[in-house]
Amino acid sequence: MVNSVTNLGRSGVYDWVIQRLTAVILALYTLFLLGYVLATPDLTYDVWKDLFSCTAMKIFTFAALLSMCAHAWVGLWTISTDYLTSSAVVRFIFQLVCAGFLFTYLVWGFDILWGV
Amino acid sequence: MLVSIYRYNPEKDTAPYMQDYEITIPGNRDVMILDVLALVKEQDSTLAYRRSCREGVCGSDGMNINGKNGLACITPISEATKGKMDKLVLRPLPGMPVIRDLVIDMTMFYQQYEKVKPYLENNTPAPAIERLQTPEERAKLDGLYECILCACCSTSCPSFWWNPDKFVGPAGLLQAYRFLADSRDTMTQERLAGLSDPFSVFRCRGIMNCVNVCPKGLNPTRAIGHIRNMLLTQQV
Ligand code: SF4
Ligand code: SF4
Ligand code: FES
């Protein structure tokens, strides 16, 4: 048993499940957006605004945003523990920068979404 | 035939280097790499490598032959050179500390093996004669128990190169599953609990280098998949 405090689920099993589940949500969201864009011939600002004003779409978008953050954290954490093994300080700084970016995206995305 | 061999003697050399030998194979036969090494050793007795059984049973002569890990004693020249019979490049198994020439320090490999408790554990009273298995239960161990611990698989696995102290590696995990699958072992839960962290099993990225090189034709990736499924069904 190898422990790590910076890992998201604190367990390989949870990380594995989170990674797969968020991947499915992200794929569905991408496909939906792509389908929507293709199926809407004249995509004006109003149409786009209407789409995102609907609560269901807000929930879906927020779920995708959360998934993106969790998915990216699991992935980047793995990269940092694969390639940045010679110095724990460098690894921690890298993880802090990643966490900072992801947190910013989350709050910023939330702000945009609820501003619609 | 040209044979290029990785040389390093820490008592004399400051850095490893490749040394070329020109050897003549009697009768130009398609011999095994281990025979080639014996011919080289006649020329240069300072060359060090491990070998014992010379028939693919003991697992001591795992090495990197023309870029692919394998046992020198059961790899013919034709296979290593893809039929061209032109040049051989022999290096120690990658990713492990080199003791001398083709001899590597396998400590980390054995430590991972030890971690998975590669022995039967049963906390029920011992029966008078022996613990019986049905032929079906016994069949589950096929493809698992044959491992000779040559380390060809683990030293070809990038995840093991990056984290040899944390990721158990294909050889160790194959044995972990060998005891998880054994109907006579009663420590399944404890074994699984010891493997559920983010490194021991989950560092496997399914690259299948291990399957590609195993000289015994075993499939560690499949065993790792079984362990993952056991962990998932237990913990989700
Ligand atoms: S399948 Fe897994 S254990 Fe095998 S080489 Fe790839 S990462 Fe390593
Ligand atoms: S699984 Fe195959 S390659 Fe790996 S140590 Fe066992 S015999 Fe060698
Ligand atoms: S010498 Fe025993 S496996 Fe090659």
Q: Which of A12-16, B4-8, B209-213 has the lowest mean pLDDT?
A: A12-16
Judge whether A83 is closer than 8 Å to chain B, CB to CB: yes
B39 C-beta closer than 6 A to ligand 1: no
Give the model's confidence band at B31: pLDDT under 50 very low, under 70 low, under 90 confident, else very high: very high
Encoded tokens for A99: 């966490």
For position A6, what pLDDT does the model report?
A: 77
Beta bridge partners of B5: B19, B90
Long-range contacts of B80-87 (CB under 8 A, 24+ apart): B80/B33, B85/B1, B85/B30, B86/B1, B86/B2, B87/B1, B87/B2, B87/B3, B87/B4
Give the span between the Cα atoms of B159 and A6, in whole angstroms. 19
**How many angstroms is it from B220 CA to the middle of ligand 1?**
8
For position A116, what pLDDT does the model report?
A: 79
- CA B208 to ligand 1: nearest atom: 1
* ipTM, interface predicted TM-score of the complex: 0.82
More confident residue, B61 or B84: B61
B166-198 per-position pLDDT tens digit: 999 999 999 999 999 999 999 999 999 999 999
Judge whether A13 is closer than 8 Å to chain B, CB to CB: yes
Judge whether B161 is closer than 8 Å to chain A, CB to CB: no
Judge whether B154 is closer than 8 Å to chain A, CB to CB: no
For position B86, what pLDDT does the model report?
A: 85
Whether pTM exceeds 0.80: yes
Closest ligand to B73 CA? 3
The mean pLDDT value for B30-47 works out to 96
B157 within 8 A of B210, measured Cβ to Cβ: yes
Closest ligand to B61 CA? 3
Q: Find which of B117, B199, B200 to mutate to test the A interface (most A CBs within 10 Å of its CB).
A: B199
For position A5, what pLDDT does the model report?
A: 75
Q: Find which of B112, B189, B197, B233 to mutate to test the A interface (most A CBs within 10 Å of its CB).
A: B197
Give the model's confidence band at B222: pLDDT under 50 very low, under 70 low, under 90 confident, else very high: very high
Judge whether B163 is closer than 8 Å to chain A, CB to CB: yes
| The residue to which tokens 């947190």 are assigned | A103
B182 within 8 A of B120, measured Cβ to Cβ: yes
For position B142, what pLDDT does the model report?
A: 96
For position A8, what pLDDT does the model report?
A: 76
The mean pLDDT value for B204-208 works out to 94
Give, for all 116 residues of chain A, the pLDDT tens digit. 677 777 777 788 999 999 999 999 999 999 999 999 999 888 899 999 999 999 999 999 999 999 999 999 999 999 999 999 888 899 999 999 999 999 999 999 999 998 87
CA angle B167, B171, B177 (to 5 degrees): 90
The mean pLDDT value for B17-38 works out to 94
For position A1, what pLDDT does the model report?
A: 64
- Domains in chain A (CATH in brackets) are 12-114 (1.20.1300.10)
Q: Which residues in chain A (22-61) have CB-CB distances under 8 A to chain B?
A: none
Out of B200, B232, B235, whose CB is closest to A2? B200
